[in-house]
Amino acid sequence: MKKLFALILLIASASLQGCMTYSHHSLQTVDQWPLASPEQEKPSVYLKVFGEYQVNDNPRVSTADVAKLEQVISQTLSESGRFSRVTTAQEESDLYLTVTLHNHETGNMGLAVLTGATFFLIPGAFDNTLTMSMAVRDGNGEKLGTAQQQESLTTWMHLFLIFAVPFQDRSDNLLRQLTQSTLQQAVDKDLL
């Protein structure tokens, strides 16, 4: 009976692990959305998205869902009102945008192991810096310039943070804000 109780307690504590992520809100705010567009003809855009990942200054294989990133970024660009068409299918366009989302994660690996070994009883934390870089090229492939914005996140891991999970903001919202801010910077630089 004691072994069964210990097994149930172990499974319950392993399944009740909680994480809470919060943003540092360091993004440049977007004044107006959708962006005010000039009265001239709106260009078509071909979008290519890449993901990069780094842990404590060591490059790692990116686990980013590029298809999901493309969907969120493409939808945000379409909603901006600046473009006649945004496509991820390779076809001739007026502008070519290459968007790279770089996730730089930093944290103490020893503390992460200790947190996991104690089934999240001892809390641990790590920081992520998300940097979105948008390279803009004209229809001939000539580079017009680059816009770049970043946002920092902190994630705490602790057994009792399971109750915070329903109140977390979705990552799609952060990606939309990051895309909007980067697009605003590209417009301010007269790249679009």
- pLDDT recorded at residue 76: 94
Average pLDDT (179-188) is: 92
**4 falls within a domain:** no
**23 falls within a domain:** yes
- pTM of the complete model: 0.83
**186 falls within a domain:** yes
How much is the mean pLDDT over the chain? 85
- pLDDT recorded at residue 43: 92
Residue 134, number of CB atoms within 10 A of its CB: 23
Q: Could you report the per-residue pLDDT of 30-61, keeping only the tens digit for each? A: 878 887 766 778 899 999 999 999 999 899 88
Tell whether the model's pLDDT for residue 26 goes beyond 80. yes
- Amino acid code (one letter) for 52: E
154 Cβ contact partners less than 8 Å away, ≥ 6 residues apart = 21, 22, 24, 125, 126, 127, 128
If one counts the domains in the chain, the total is: 1
Give the CATH number for residue 118: 3.30.160.150
**9 falls within a domain:** no
- pLDDT recorded at residue 65: 85
**33 falls within a domain:** no
Q: Could you report the per-residue pLDDT of 110-142, keeping only the tens digit for each? A: 988 888 888 888 889 999 999 999 999 998 989
**108 falls within a domain:** yes
The pLDDT confidence band at residue 19, using thresholds 50, 70 and 90, is confident
